[in-house]
Structure 1
Amino acid sequence: MATSITSVRGLARLLGCVVLAVFLTACQAGKEQEKPKMDMKQAGQRAEEILDDTMEAIQPSVKWVRGVAMVSPCSTNLNEPTGTTTVVRSRNILTVVSERRRDELLKMVQRHWKKRGATDFDVHSDEKMPRIRAKTADGLTVTLDVGYAGNVYIRAAFGCAQDSAMTYPKGTPGQPGGPDEPERIPREHSPYWSGTGS
């Protein structure tokens, strides 16, 4: 069992890196000369606001924890520093979401993001690992992914924010006062989300 959990954690970390790479590619393509709309602190705070708002929109409510807060310096096509950094914040849903309920959860979040003004939706309707991605009105990329273990995680990222000091909410993994690693594997059961009935 321990080996299985370790493998899941390793894969989750790898997937996180892949997602971050997608964000970086999107933010760097032809935008090196644009002045950042936010600094890192503002981007982190805005990402947290979007994620909190998204979690509140999921009803019935689900159990969740903060995921790893990731940052990665942006560079030019010549690999030169730009004084900007991509900021990513996340939430891991610990409530078990049954296969029957996954599509409903994705559509609920998609409707909420549209209501909040998000555009450029990209929907990947995979049976086992579906995903939705969109762009908010203020330039953040938001995603909801279902992992191979049935784990659901939501991210908000701002590409290439102006370098600045950062702040983190209490309980952020890897930051003072927070756990070394976030919980990733669903363990809480909900009569609604975890069930198979109609």
Structure 2
Amino acid sequence: MSRLVRLLGCALLVVVLAACQGKKEQEEPMMDMQQAGQRSEAFLDGTMAAIRPPVEWAYGAPMEEACSTGLNRPTGTTTVSRSRNILTVVSEQRRGELVEMVRRYWEQEGLRDFDVDADKEMPRIRATTADGFVVILQVGSIGNVFVRVGTGCVKDSEMTYPTGTPGYPGGPKKVDLTPRKHSAFWSSSQSQRQR
């Protein structure tokens, strides 16, 4: 019986904490979904342009999720996330160089709170912009590299998407994740330090 009481108490605590979190997020967002999407796309454009030599990439699937209170009541706000998938094959020997190049660009752009995972096979870097966007570059399990930008709850609004966005007019029906474009530099098995 006491175990059941403890479990019920824990469940109630989770509900109360979630409700408190919902109250914290009731501050009026500074931007709407359209502005957040445009800001994310601009940041992704800059990140892709900072990679030298250039890589080929495709739009990733955009994601939006309605924000709610701890009691699943709508708040009129939504989280927004955009991404890019790098189609150029980045060899295991070059992945660290790619992460470092992007990290330097993000630092120049004023990002902070860096978290770098230097795993040889699947490195990842995460940081935060001054206006609260979280950005991540990660290598996936099949050697695919993607960059994602997301923000917390912003005001609900209509959204537009760049031509080429999967699932939207002018874009493919499926997300392209598989790297298959060869690059004399990025696909090489020799790292910069070995040359």
TM-score normalised to the size of structure 1?
Answer: 0.83
What CA deviation, in whole Å up to 9, does each residue of 1:32-55 have, x standing for no partner?
122212100000000000000000
SS at match of 1:100: helix
1:180 partner amino acid = K
Q: Which residue pairs with 2:159 in the alignment?
A: 166
SS at match of 2:181: coil
**Cα separation, 1, equivalents of 2:30 and 2:106:** 21
- Does structure 2 conserve the Cα–Cα contact (< 8 Å) formed by 1:71 and 1:88? yes
**Cα separation, 2, equivalents of 1:126 and 1:37:** 36
Name segments (4+ residues, structure 1) moved above 3 Å. Answer: 28-31
Q: Which residue pairs with 1:66 in the alignment?
A: 59
Q: Which residue pairs with 2:173 in the alignment?
A: 180
Q: Which residue pairs with 2:102 in the alignment?
A: 109
Q: Residue 48 in 1 paired to residue 41 in 2?
A: yes
**Higher mean C-alpha displacement, 149-158 vs 174-183:** 174-183
Query: Residue 32 of structure 2 is aligned with which of 39, 42, 52?
Result: 39
- Does structure 1 conserve the Cα–Cα contact (< 8 Å) formed by 2:136 and 2:148? yes
2:116 partner amino acid = V
Instruction: Give the number of aligned pairs.
Output: 172
1:54 partner amino acid = T
**Cα separation, 2, equivalents of 1:29 and 1:81:** 10
Q: Which residue pairs with 1:15 in the alignment?
A: none
1:135 partner amino acid = T
Q: Which runs of 5+ in 1 are unaligned?
A: 1-24
Q: Aligned-pair distance for 1:127?
A: 2.3
Q: Which runs of 5+ in 2 are unaligned?
A: 1-17
Which has the higher Rg, Structure 1 or Structure 2?
Answer: 2
Q: Which residue pairs with 2:129 in the alignment?
A: 136
What CA deviation, in whole Å up to 9, does each residue of 1:90-133 have, x standing for no partner?
00000000011000100110110010000111112222211111
Q: Aligned-pair distance for 1:30?
A: 6.9
**Cα separation, 2, equivalents of 1:40 and 1:68:** 16
Q: Aligned-pair distance for 1:77?
A: 1.9
Q: Residue 76 in 1 paired to residue 69 in 2?
A: yes
**Cα separation, 2, equivalents of 1:29 and 1:117:** 29
Measured on the aligned residues, the alpha-carbon RMSD in Å equals 1.5
1:189 partner amino acid = H
Q: Aligned-pair distance for 1:29?
A: 7.5
- Does structure 2 conserve the Cα–Cα contact (< 8 Å) formed by 1:85 and 1:159? yes
TM-score normalised to the size of structure 2?
Answer: 0.84
Cα distance change of structure 1 residues 31 and 134 upon mapping to structure 2, 3 Å threshold: farther
**Cα separation, 2, equivalents of 1:104 and 1:161:** 34
Q: Which residue pairs with 2:185 in the alignment?
A: 192
